[in-house]
């Protein structure tokens, strides 16, 4: 025997050690064990145990008999191979220590909680599966055969939790289009619990969707008669409203899964913008994205600083693998970090996707959760590539997550989306600046003549002045391409003036200064002030105590603010070794911070630090 015990409350009380059943003594010993299991890892007073065993009429020897029962249980568990104490004495009574042992009621509660979290995250299939696994733990009425008023109350509570889980799972399966398979299961529940209106409503809905309209109305009639007969009341408003919808054959009764079947014709969206011309390098990052194709869920999150090429990488990869997704590609810019305007509402993004998938405007639901449900229903069984570009928050992304593992989702954004990485298993691909040789090659491909190859030293210097950022490199290269009379050295000399360097990146459709601004505006006031003052430093990097000195604050507060700057992709870690972290701003961000220092610190204080 392993010494690990399994306690079963969801049915007749039973204890097992491995495959062997552990025999528990008489009724009183079973009552004591049940009370301790129902309050596992909590102290149950001797008085409570006495009350439970004799329902308020204990003999004078009641406390002694409780002690005898506990001693018997301890002896039984040790005989079953459990060396440690499962039941310990703890004033004013006893406590059953779960440790490595299993209690099916605790597992049921845990599975139900995970199912709720999965439903909140939009994964209806997983939520239904988890509830199914939780309900499979039940072997019959909870604590059958155990007497005692307190135990019976707890058994009734567990039964209510079971019925709630049954109804939750039924609702999920209806939304998933499994109405035909539900009818017999729900009919049995309604027979056993005829006054549970939620279960009856689910049965009526399943019958109607299966084309059994008359049966759905008969189910309502039987419930109404039973309600009037037993409690003297008409059914509740929700059940009466459902009957009215059935009588009117209201189309909303068919639900999202049925609505989705109307759009099962092969509408194949192809929304990818053009591939990035002259894309170079990023072999490791492309390889990481390729690995998504063998994963489930296939979710990637591309993150990095402004201008580092997140969108370019996602689009270049998407074009490489588009033929692996025969049901199409969806793309949307969530505008999370645009200089003007607000981030895209996920409801608007869903409406756009639904149109691309063939849903007419008049049939797109109004509510966000209904749009999300229809979107996932249409995608069910399809293999679609989805790119969500420039996301600002997980709240934007959550309604747009597909509900099946056949689709592949790639999100790009600056700030880390912890929920996407933690709860949804996304693979993070972090982009840094281009390698020097790739940066030079990018300049050469955009300029289009021999100026880059003829001046390798100037090209290397230009790459450094652009911080090897793809956006800065493309703007600089475009300037050279439109000014064939300029040499590389001429542009380098203009950019070496720190006071004007950012101006050289203005005037383009996507200027560099404008790409930095949203990250800066998103900072807390203290983090923004630290960012500005760090821009005045000339050192290549700095430790956290420098930030503390700049703000005249504690080291802990400075570290907290620096982490905000890291999350905003405005500061990066330059060296780490145990507790000796050092940080840096790249040159272009340093100039941006310095501009704000001169503009804002001088305005507030009359001078800069």
What pLDDT does residue 202 have?
Answer: 93
Whether 427 and 445 share a structural domain: no
* pLDDT of the residue at 1: 45
* pLDDT per residue as tens digits for the range 101-134: 999 999 999 999 898 888 877 788 888 999 999 9
Mark whether 427 and 287 lie in a shared domain. Answer: yes
Contact between 462 and 432 under an 8 Å Cβ cutoff? The reply is: no
Supply the DSSP string of 366-434, one letter for each residue: SSHHHHHHHHHHHHTT---EEEEEEE--HHHHGGG--SSTTSEEEEEESS--HHHHHTS-PEEEEE-PP
Q: Are residues 418 and 452 in the same domain?
A: no
Per-residue confidence (pLDDT) for residue 276, from 0 to 100: 86
Q: Which of 480, 512, 544 marks a domain boundary? A: 512
Tell me how far apart the alpha carbons of residues 520 and 591 are, in angstroms, rounded to a whole number: 13
Backbone angles phi, psi at 344, to 5 degrees: -65, 135
Residue 271 lies in a domain: no
Please report, for residues 524, 588, 602, 606, the alpha-carbon distance to residue 530 in angstroms, rounded to integers and kept in the order given: 10, 17, 15, 18
Q: Are residues 553 and 584 in the same domain?
A: yes
Asked whether residue 266 is assigned to any structural domain, the reply reads: no
* Residues 300 and 391 grouped into a single domain: yes
The number of folded domains in the chain is: 5
Instruction: Strand 385-391: give its sheet, edge to edge.
Output: 329-333, 385-391, 408-413, 298-304, 427-431
* pLDDT at residue 507 is higher than 70: no
- Residue 21 shares a structural domain with residue 51: yes
**299 and 221, same domain (yes or no):** no
In a domain, 236, yes or no: yes
Residue 57 has pLDDT above 90, yes or no: no
Q: Which helix (H) or strand (E) holds 5?
A: strand 5-8
CATH code of residue 92 = 1.10.10.10
Q: By C-alpha distance, which of 514, 76, 487 is closest to 495? A: 487
> In which residue are the tokens 């409406």 written?
351
- Residue 18: the pLDDT is 85
Answer whether 74's CB lies under 8 Å from 87's CB. yes
Please indicate, yes or no, if residue 563 is contained in any of the structural domains: yes
Length of the chain: 609
Query: What DSSP letter does each residue of 105-152 carry, written as one string?
Result: HHHHHHHHHHHHHHHHTT-HHHHHHHHHHHHTT--SSTTBT---HHHH
> Looking at residue 207, what DSSP letter applies?
H
C-beta separation of 166 from 138 below 8 A: no
Query: By the 8 A CB rule, do 280 and 445 touch?
Result: yes
Average pLDDT, the chain: 88
At 261, the pLDDT band (50, 70, 90 cuts) reads low
DSSP 508: S
As a whole number, mean pLDDT of residues 529-539 equals 92
Domain boundary among 431, 460, 483: 431
Strand order of the sheet with strand 5-8?
Answer: 20-22, 14-17, 5-8, 102-103
Nearest to 402 by CA among 539, 237, 560, 260: 260
In a domain, 73, yes or no: yes
Each residue of 22-46: pLDDT tens digit?
Answer: 999 889 999 999 999 998 999 999 9
Beta pairing class for 408-413 and 385-391: parallel
pLDDT for residue 578: 59
What CATH number does residue 382 fall under? 3.40.50.300
Q: Where are the alpha helices (DSSP H) in 466-586?
A: 470-482, 488-495, 512-521, 525-534, 544-551, 555-567
pLDDT higher at 587 or 406: 587
Alpha-carbon span 536 to 592, nearest angstrom: 10
pLDDT one-digit tens code per residue, 557-589: 999 999 999 999 999 998 665 567 899 999 999
Question: Could you tell me the end-to-end alpha-carbon distance of the chain, in angstroms, rounded to an integer?
Answer: 72
Q: Is residue 16 scored above 50 in pLDDT?
A: yes
Residues 245 and 355 in one domain: no
| Residue 609 pLDDT | 44
| 415 and 313 both lie in a single domain | yes
Please identify which residue in the block is written with the tokens 């021999």.
Answer: 450
- Span 1-10, average pLDDT: 82
Q: The pTM is what?
A: 0.59
Mean pLDDT of 333-356: 90
Which are the contacts of 396, defined by CB distance < 8 A and separation ≥ 6? 334, 336, 343, 344, 346, 349, 388
| pLDDT reported for residue 317 | 95
Q: Within 13 Å, how many C-alpha atoms sit on residue 344's CB side?
A: 20
In a domain, 535, yes or no: yes
Please report, rounded to a whole number, the percentage of residues in the chain having pLDDT higher than 90.
58
Q: What pLDDT sits at residue 524?
A: 92
Q: Is the pLDDT of residue 380 over 90?
A: no
The yes-or-no verdict on residue 265 having pLDDT over 80 is no
Last residue of a domain, one of 453, 484, 512: 512
Does residue 328 sit in the same domain as residue 456? no
Considering the domain architecture, whether residues 174 and 307 belong to the same structural domain is answered as no
Supply the pLDDT for residue 513: 87
Range of the domain at 137: 119-141+151-259
Return phi, psi of residue 295, to 5°: -110, 160
Mean pLDDT to the nearest integer, 424-445 = 91
Sorting pLDDT into bands at 50, 70 and 90, what band is 257? low
Asked whether residue 505 falls in the same domain as residue 595, the answer is no
Query: What does the radius of gyration of the chain's CA atoms come to, in whole angstroms?
Result: 33
Looking at residues 420-442, what average pLDDT do you find? 90
Q: Do the domain assignments include residue 95?
A: yes
Report if residue 332 sits inside a domain: yes
pLDDT of residue 288: 93
88: helix, strand or coil: strand
Whether the predicted pLDDT of 604 surpasses 60: no
């Amino acid at each position: 025997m392993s010494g690990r015990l399994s306690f079963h409350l969801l049915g007749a009380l039973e204890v097992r050690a491995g495959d062997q059943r552990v025999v528990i003594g008489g009724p009183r010993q079973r009552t004591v064990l049940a009370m301790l299991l129902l309050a596992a890892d909590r102290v149950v007073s001797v008085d409570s145990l006495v009350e439970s065993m004799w329902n308020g009429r204990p003999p004078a020897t009641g406390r002694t008999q409780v002690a005898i029962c506990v001693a018997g249980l301890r002896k039984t568990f040790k005989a079953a191979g459990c060396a440690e104490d499962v039941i310990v004495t703890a004033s004013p009574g006893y406590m059953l220590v779960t440790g490595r042992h299993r209690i099916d009621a605790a597992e049921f509660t845990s599975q139900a909680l995970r199912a709720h979290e999965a439903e909140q995250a939009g994964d209806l299939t997983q939520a239904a599966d988890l509830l199914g696994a939780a309900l499979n733990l039940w072997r019959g009425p909870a604590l059958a055969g155990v007497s005692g008023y307190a135990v019976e109350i707890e058994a009734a509570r567990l039964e209510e939790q079971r019925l709630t889980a049954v109804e939750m799972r039924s609702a999920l399966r209806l939304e998933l289009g499994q109405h035909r398979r539900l009818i017999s299961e729900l009919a049995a529940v309604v027979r056993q619990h005829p006054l549970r209106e939620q279960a009856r409503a689910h049965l009526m809905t399943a019958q109607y969707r299966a084309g059994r309209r008359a049966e759905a109305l008969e189910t309502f009639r039987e419930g109404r008669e039973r309600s009037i007969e037993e409690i003297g009341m008409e059914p509740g408003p929700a059940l009466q409203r459902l009957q009215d919808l059935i009588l009117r054959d209201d189309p909303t009764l068919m639900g999202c899964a049925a609505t989705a079947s109307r759009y099962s014709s092969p509408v194949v969206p192809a929304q990818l913008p053009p591939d990035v011309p002259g894309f170079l390098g990023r072999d490791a990052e492309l390889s990481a994205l390729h690995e998504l194709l063998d994963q489930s869920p296939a979710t990637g999150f591309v993150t990095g600083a402004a201008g580092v090429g997140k969108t370019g990488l996602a689009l270049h990869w998407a074009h490489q693998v588009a033929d692996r997704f025969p049901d199409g590609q969806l793309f949307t810019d969530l505008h999370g970090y645009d200089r003007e305007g607000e981030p895209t509402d996920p409801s608007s993004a869903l409406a756009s996707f639904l149109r691309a998938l063939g849903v007419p405007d008049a049939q797109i639901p109004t509510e966000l959760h209904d749009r999300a449900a229809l979107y996932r229903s249409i995608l069910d069984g399809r293999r679609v590539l989805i790119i969500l570009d420039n996301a600002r928050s997980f709240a934007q992304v959550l309604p747009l997550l597909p509900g099946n593992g056949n689709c592949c989702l790639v999100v790009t954004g600056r700030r880390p989306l912890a929920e996407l990485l933690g709860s949804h298993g996304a693979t993070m691909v972090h982009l840094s600046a281009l390698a020097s040789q790739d940066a030079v090659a990018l300049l050469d491909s955009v300029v289009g003549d021999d100026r880059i190859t003829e001046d390798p030293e100037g090209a290397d210097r230009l790459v450094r002045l652009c911080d090897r950022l793809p956006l800065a490199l493309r703007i600089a290269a475009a300037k050279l391409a439109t000014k064939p009379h300029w040499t590389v050295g001429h542009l380098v000399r203009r950019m070496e003036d720190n006071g004007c360097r950012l101006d050289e990146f203005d005037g383009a459709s996507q200027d560099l200064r404008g790409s930095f601004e949203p990250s800066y505006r998103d900072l807390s006031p203290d983090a923004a002030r630290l960012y500005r003052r760090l821009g005045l430093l000339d050192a290549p990097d700095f430790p956290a105590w420098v930030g503390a000195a700049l703000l005249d604050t504690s080291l802990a507060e400075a570290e907290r603010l620096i982490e905000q700057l890291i999350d905003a992709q405005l500061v990066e870690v330059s060296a780490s070794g145990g507790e000796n972290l050092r940080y840096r701003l790249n040159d272009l961000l340093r100039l941006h911070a310095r501009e704000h220092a001169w503009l804002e610190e001088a305005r507030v204080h009359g001078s800069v630090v």
